[in-house]
């Protein structure tokens, strides 16, 4: 593969990690490489181990075996706050914002150095103009979509070189999904994003590269442009509805090329 | 829309306040002015004390899910520490050099780490080496305190309380410095050995931080200076404190007791509690076990007797002041408030409780630490994922919570007997307060403490008036808790179930 020829472009390498939660062997050898810049997508069914992969990278569920290398530095075994401090932003699933904190405090708490928020405020409000209006409100007054925007914005306050974003489209209305997609596309111009996404429309439009996690293992990977044509592969790992979406995309891009 | 939001957020608070305000005229009319005012004031005094215990409990439970059954013992330790410091601090100053020496040794941990990380210790021997080092440290430490007559030191305050003798005359002669200096030295070595064990020789998976190194040096040098100073001044300092203006001495006792409590809290969190976060049930056993141990230690040092700590002169002049303003100049034992003769020291407790509450609310609302605590109560993992060292926050909050309980203990010492079991009652009421107010909420604990204090006071009043058993006032708090939990299972201001 071409990736093997340019290892220096990888910002993150995960090498056959094994992660246990309690007695359960959740990850049984996940490997992946995230190239600097752009969006890499983790695909897979519910319970395949996508979220655990993100948490293992960050050290929230530390892997027992294997290596995680960030910018040439081994980070497995460090504590989560140390790993995050190296420049990883995390957007957990289910819009995990701090409900009792105001929007302003939700952002302020993510500062790693004094003045981080002031420095990044324009960029953040550019991406999510709503947050400026809601700045003083407590988190639990926000709608689901606004909470999700805030969760992403919070990961942008500190100077992060890698963002781990878990299911940003979950439970959002279609209009908001569009908006979220636009925001992630925009911020991926300046940082690297590793995205977990069940919504195949969103995943296929954002991702340049994909990995399929199945049963705690890396099952497949490649360029997103190839995946949307491979209906059989999609149906096998991601289900029939994703395959339909993939088929439509493929057909549309054929049409565009033909017309 | 704004009004609606305000209502949704504060409905519990508003309803409670309206109820209380409606009850005031009712009580005033049916009970008569004097009994009513007296009962309310007693209720507030009790409430202030409950709050000091409950504030720490609620923060510790909210953030760490730890039910600290040693919190009552911490209240008791605070009372003893304050009583010692105020009556005769010989014991505290005699012990300080040893404690500081041990801490100095321990503070060397981050400095030793880069030196020992590369030691060629095979992996299977690393654990054994650490165990050996810790056992060695304990042995050296025991040798260090061998023959030190703790009970003689402890007796000084005991005697001056019991026979009201001149405390200055009671300062027991201590070991000459020529012999004493060996003890802190041995404890310093014990601390260093423990630090060596903590630095995990040969364990190369650790990370060495530059910032930690710098802080480590500062802490080490500061503690070393403190140790040397404590060794040199251990006798004269006790006399200086005793010659000091007694009101200042009392203020200082509040501060010292709180710091001692905070120190014990920090040590307790890092040593006893931290390894057990994953086993919550063991924590219940470990903390209640610690409570028993502390009670026994106190009994050993001061005998299982109740002591009455003297009130500071600010609240001790005979007579009655006509108003609070009058009290400022007369400094009498009692003050006239709305026709009721009330002990001025109890007013001080109420004020202390209010000041503490405002300070705590301010800390939670306006500081970064408070923000992190509020966020951590909801989602610790996410706080850690933002790059915040949650473990250090845990230690800080534990120290703060225990410090507040100790402060409550010293505050209570001048008007309830100082004895080993004094904390048990407050622990129980503290838990009820926390459950009532909602785990993790400071304002909830405040409202809960207010309700419980008033319930106790009015229960006592009713029991006396209708010749019922006094158990009715104790039962009232539990009944209130049961009713509140039926209506709101997460407590009045609960953040978590």
| B334 vs B296 pLDDT, higher one | B296
Q: Which has the closest alpha carbon to B242: B416, B96, B84, B80? A: B84
| B152 vs B66 pLDDT, higher one | B66
> What pLDDT score does B9 carry?
65
Q: Which has the closest alpha carbon to B52: B435, B438, B349? A: B349
Distance CA A65, CA A248 (A): 41
Task: Indicate left, alpha or beta for B338 from its phi (over 0: left) and psi (-120 to 50: alpha).
Answer: left
Max CA-CA distance within chain A? 56
| Segment B283-308 mean pLDDT | 91
Of the listed ranges A163-177, B55-69, B168-182, B344-358, the least confidently predicted one is: B168-182
Whether the CB-CB separation of B121 and B201 falls below 8 Å is answered with: yes
Beta bridge partners of B307: B418
> What pLDDT score does A144 carry?
85
A223 C-beta neighbours (distance < 10 Å), count: 12
User: DSSP letters of B26-92?
Assistant: HHHHHH-HHHHHHHHHHHHHHHHHHHHHHHHHHHHHHHH----TTHHHHHHHHHHHHHHHHH-THHH
Contacts of A109 in chain B (CB under 8 A): 368, 371-372, 375, 383, 386, 388
Beta bridge partners of A15: A67
pLDDT by residue (tens digit) across A139-190? 888 888 889 999 999 999 998 999 999 988 888 888 888 888 888 988 888 8
A-facing residues of B in 377-406 (CB < 8 A) are 377-379, 381-391
Residue A200 has pLDDT above 60, yes or no: yes
Residue B396 has pLDDT above 90, yes or no: yes
What domains, with CATH codes, occur in chain A? 2-227 (3.40.50.300), 228-259 (no CATH)
A109 and B381 within 8 Å at the Cβ level: the answer is no
Residue B163 has pLDDT above 80, yes or no: no
Report for B281-285, B462-466, B486-490: range of highest mean pLDDT: B281-285
> What pLDDT score does A103 carry?
92
- Joined together, the tokens standing for residue A73 give 């530095």
A4 band by pLDDT with thresholds 50, 70 and 90: very low
Distance CA B229, CA B219 (A): 15
Residue A26 has pLDDT above 60, yes or no: yes
- SS3 assignment, position A202: helix
pTM greater than the 0.80 cutoff = yes
A258 band by pLDDT with thresholds 50, 70 and 90: low
B149 touching chain A per CB within 8 A? no
Burial track B59-73 (b if 16+ CB lie within 10 A, e otherwise): bbbbbbebbbbbbbb
> What pLDDT score does B1 carry?
46
A209-214 and A192-196: which strand pairing? unpaired
| Segment A44-71 mean pLDDT | 89
B123 touching chain A per CB within 8 A? no
ipTM above 0.95, yes or no: no
> What pLDDT score does A6 carry?
45
Q: What percent of chain B has pLDDT over 70?
A: 94
> What pLDDT score does B169 carry?
57
Max CA-CA distance within chain B? 82
pLDDT by residue (tens digit) across B257-279? 999 999 999 999 988 998 898 88
> What pLDDT score does B313 carry?
84
- Nearest residue of chain B to residue A56 (CA atoms): B385
Q: How far is CA B470 from the centre of its chain?
A: 29
User: CB under 8 Å to A248, separation ≥6 — which residues?
Assistant: none
A-facing residues of B in 4-43 (CB < 8 A) are 5, 9
| Segment B219-245 mean pLDDT | 88
Residue B442 has pLDDT above 50, yes or no: yes
Distance CA B237, CA B227 (A): 14
> What pLDDT score does A5 carry?
43
> What pLDDT score does A189 carry?
87
Chain B closest-CA separation from residue A133 CA (Å): 15
Interface A–B counts its CB contacts (< 8 A) at: 65
Residue B113 has pLDDT above 80, yes or no: yes
Chain B closest-CA separation from residue A158 CA (Å): 9
Residue A239 has pLDDT above 80, yes or no: no
Chain A closest-CA separation from residue B406 CA (Å): 29
Contacts of A62 in chain B (CB under 8 A): none
Beta bridge partners of A69: A13, A74
pLDDT by residue (tens digit) across B170-210? 555 677 787 888 889 999 999 999 999 888 888 776 667 67
């Amino acid at each position: 593969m071409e990736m093997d020829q340019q290892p220096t472009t990888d910002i993150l390498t995960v090498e056959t990690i094994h992660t246990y939660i309690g007695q359960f062997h959740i990850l049984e050898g996940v490997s992946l490489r995230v190239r600097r810049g752009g969006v890499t997508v983790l695909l897979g069914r519910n319970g395949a181990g996508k979220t655990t992969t993100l948490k293992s990278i960050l050290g929230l569920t530390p892997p027992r075996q294997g290596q995680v290398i960030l910018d040439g530095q081994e980070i497995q075994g460090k504590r989560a706050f140390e790993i995050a401090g190296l420049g990883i932003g995390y957007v957990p699933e289910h819009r995990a914002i701090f409900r009792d904190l105001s929007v302003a405090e939700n952002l302020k708490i993510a500062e790693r150095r004094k003045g981080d928020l002031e420095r990044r405020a324009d960029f953040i409000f550019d991406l999510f103009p709503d947050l400026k209006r809601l700045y003083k409100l407590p988190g639990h007054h926000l709608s689901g979509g606004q909470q999700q925007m805030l969760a992403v914005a919070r990961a942008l306050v500190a100077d992060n070189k890698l963002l781990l974003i878990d299911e940003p489209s979950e439970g959002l209305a279609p209009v908001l999904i569009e908006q979220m997609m636009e925001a992630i596309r925009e911020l991926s111009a300046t940082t690297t994003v590793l995205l977990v996404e069940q919504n195949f429309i969103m995943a296929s439009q954002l991702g340049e590269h994909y990995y399929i996690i199945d049963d705690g293992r890396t099952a497949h990977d490649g360029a997103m442009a190839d995946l949307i044509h491979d209906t059989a592969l999609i149906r096998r790992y991601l289900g029939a509805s994703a395959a339909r979406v993939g088929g439509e995309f493929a057909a549309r891009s054929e049409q565009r090329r033909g017309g | 829309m704004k009004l609606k939001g305000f209502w949704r957020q504060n409905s519990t608070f508003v309803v409670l306040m309206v109820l209380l305000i409606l009850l005031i005229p009712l009580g005033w009319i049916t009970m008569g002015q004097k009994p009513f005012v007296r009962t309310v004031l007693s209720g507030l005094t009790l409430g202030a004390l409950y709050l000091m215990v409950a504030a720490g409990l609620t923060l510790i439970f909210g953030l760490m899910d730890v039910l600290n059954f040693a919190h009552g013992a911490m209240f008791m330790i605070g009372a003893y520490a304050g009583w010692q410091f105020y009556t005769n601090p010989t014991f505290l100053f005699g012990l300080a050099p040893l404690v500081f020496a041990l801490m100095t040794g321990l503070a060397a941990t981050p400095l030793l780490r880069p030196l020992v990380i590369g030691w060629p210790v095979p992996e299977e021997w690393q654990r054994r080496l650490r165990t050996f080092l810790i056992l060695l440290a304990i042995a050296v430490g025991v040798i260090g305190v061998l023959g030190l007559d703790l009970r003689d030191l402890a007796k000084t305050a005991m005697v001056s309380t019991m026979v009201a003798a001149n405390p200055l005359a009671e300062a027991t002669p201590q070991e000459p410095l020529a012999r004493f200096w060996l003890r802190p030295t041995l404890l310093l070595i014990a601390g260093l050995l423990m630090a060596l064990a903590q630095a995990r020789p040969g364990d190369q998976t650790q990370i060495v931080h530059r910032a930690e190194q710098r802080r480590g040096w500062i802490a080490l040098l500061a503690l070393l200076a403190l140790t040397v100073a404590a060794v040199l001044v251990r006798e004269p300092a006790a006399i200086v404190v005793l010659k000091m203006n007694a009101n200042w001495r009392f203020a200082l006792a509040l501060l010292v007791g709180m710091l001692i409590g905070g120190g014990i809290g920090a040590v307790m969190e890092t040593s006893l509690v931290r390894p057990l976060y994953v086993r919550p049930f063991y924590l219940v056993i470990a903390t209640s076990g610690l409570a028993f141990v502390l009670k026994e230690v106190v009994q050993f040092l001061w005998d299982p007797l109740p002591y009455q700590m003297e009130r500071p002169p600010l609240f001790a002049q005979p007579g009655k002041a006509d108003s609070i303003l009058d009290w400022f100049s007369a400094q009498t034992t009692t003050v006239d408030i709305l026709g009721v003769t009330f002990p001025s020291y109890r007013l001080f407790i109420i004020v202390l409780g209010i000041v503490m509450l405002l300070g705590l609310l301010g800390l939670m609302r306006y500081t970064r630490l408070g923000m992190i605590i509020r966020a951590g109560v909801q989602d610790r993992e996410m706080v850690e994922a933002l790059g915040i060292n949650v473990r250090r926050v845990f230690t800080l909050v534990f120290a703060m919570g225990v410090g507040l309980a100790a402060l409550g203990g010293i505050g209570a010492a001048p008007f309830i007997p100082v004895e080993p079991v004094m904390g048990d009652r407050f622990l129980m009421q503290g838990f009820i307060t926390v459950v009532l107010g909602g785990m993790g909420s400071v304002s909830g604990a405040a409202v809960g403490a207010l309700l419980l204090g008033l319930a106790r006071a009015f229960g006592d009043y009713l029991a006396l008036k209708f010749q019922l058993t006094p158990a009715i006032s104790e039962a009232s708090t539990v009944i209130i808790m049961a009713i509140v939990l039926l209506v709101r299972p997460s407590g009045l201001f609960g953040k978590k179930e």
